[in-house]
Amino acid sequence: MRTIDDRPDPEELLRRVQADETREKRGRLKVFLGYASRVGKSFRMFDEGRRRKERGQDVVVATVQGAVTADIQEILSRLEVAPTLPDGAIDLPALFRRHPSVCLIDGLAHENPPGSRNRERWQDVKELLDRGISVITAVNLQHIREKQDEVERITSKRAAHSVPQAFLAEAEEIEVVDAPPEALIGRVTQGSMPDPRILAELRELALLLAADVVDLQLREYVDAHGIAARWGTQERILVCLTPRSSAADMLRSGHRNALRFHGALLAAYVEQPGLRAEDEARLESHLALARELGAEVHCLKGEDFVESILHFAHDQRISQVFLGHSGRGASFGFKRNPVDRLIDAAEDFDIRLFPHGDGA
């Protein structure tokens, strides 16, 4: 649980400046992401290498993975291919000496033989980047560590080697190779036909993974350039919890909506002093349910319920707020009902009202 603070502190700013400086010296990483084998990501990677070389960049191929198709062979014949070590691992010291501006690395998820300098190839890539060599590489969805459970659920198979998703998020550029399943089926020459349904599910997963990476990079860009946060492209749902609200309805509905939108689910409550023991217990059980459903739970501090929610919703780029209401009617006199006040003030998010709760 954390409370919010929308201004970066000086240390955070210093950290950012330092990170920028490191990034300046570091090589740039570009990743081609495919959702299955043979969608053509290696071709796209080598083709980009060819075009860069034609534009005068110093390009070296560091690894070629698996069987090479005729069109890739044709591109390779025009590029410098660095020899690997006899066991197939990248010869890092030789590459450091050669020091090209761009290295092409196929099969990012490859595991190096025992006794190699690094256990995994993506760690080799890190070293190249640290030495100021840019890397273009290609990886399949099934090799992204955090996605392996989902891929296994879809395909009933699990790849032996993997790359952490955080490594992907570090890439300056990620490009999706989204060939539709039909084209893929046409290209498969041996083995069994992949099930179109499985391919479609993998495709969806790869697109959403890329969207999440892009979203993260976009947020960093927005932060770094001090641009006011706009309505995000991802649906972000905030369920407002109070002791008496119909929390189960709201949370279940929020959970289902977040799943359907592939969005985020947040739950927040505004701290109230002097809660009665039974209300305290109710709130606790709501929070437990929220956590069980995978919501990010926040405790908001603040004098005023409406102000706290408005501030938090803006800060978290919320697109829908779920709120309970008692239906006991309109505001009377000058003391307005919090639900009405929130409706009046909501500029960038929808408010979905759930009956039978106790409102705020």
Interface residues with other proteins (CB under 8 A) are 30, 172-180, 182-183, 197, 200-201, 203-204, 207-208, 210-211, 214-215, 217-218, 221-222, 225, 227, 230-231, 233-235, 253, 257, 260-262, 320, 325, 327, 329-333, 339-340, 343-344, 346-356
Whose CA is closest to 290, among 244, 353, 247?
Answer: 247
Smallest gap from Cβ 7 to other proteins, in A, equals 20
> Which CB sits closer to other proteins, 130 or 344?
344
> What is the rounded CA–CA span in Å between residue 106 and residue 134?
14
Smallest gap from Cβ 47 to other proteins, in A, equals 12
Please name the amino acid found at residue 268.
A
> Which CB sits closer to other proteins, 114 or 333?
333
Tokens, residue 346: 């909501």
Whose CA is closest to 208, among 141, 139, 156?
Answer: 141
Smallest gap from Cβ 75 to other proteins, in A, equals 15
Smallest gap from Cβ 147 to other proteins, in A, equals 14
Smallest gap from Cβ 219 to other proteins, in A, equals 10
Q: Measured between alpha carbons, how far is residue 180 from residues 40, 101, 142, 197, 357 in Å? A: 11, 33, 17, 12, 47
> What is the rounded CA–CA span in Å between residue 321 and residue 330?
20
> Which CB sits closer to other proteins, 32 or 305?
32
Whose CA is closest to 320, among 330, 309, 336?
Answer: 309
Smallest gap from Cβ 211 to other proteins, in A, equals 4
Q: What is the 3-state secondary structure (H, E, C) of 2-50?
A: CCCCCCCCHHHHHHHHHHHHHHHHCCCEEEEEECCCCCCHHHHHHHHHH
Q: What are the E-state strand segments in 99-200?
A: 102-105, 134-140, 173-177
- Which helix or strand (DSSP H or E) is residue 190 part of? none
> What is the rounded CA–CA span in Å between residue 164 and residue 174?
14
Smallest gap from Cβ 112 to other proteins, in A, equals 28
Whose CA is closest to 142, among 152, 128, 133, 132?
Answer: 152
> Which CB sits closer to other proteins, 197 or 275?
197
Smallest gap from Cβ 258 to other proteins, in A, equals 11
> Which CB sits closer to other proteins, 208 or 288?
208
> Which CB sits closer to other proteins, 295 or 339?
339
> Which CB sits closer to other proteins, 47 or 91?
47
> Which CB sits closer to other proteins, 95 or 213?
213
Q: Indicate the pairing of strand 59-63 with strand 80-81.
A: parallel
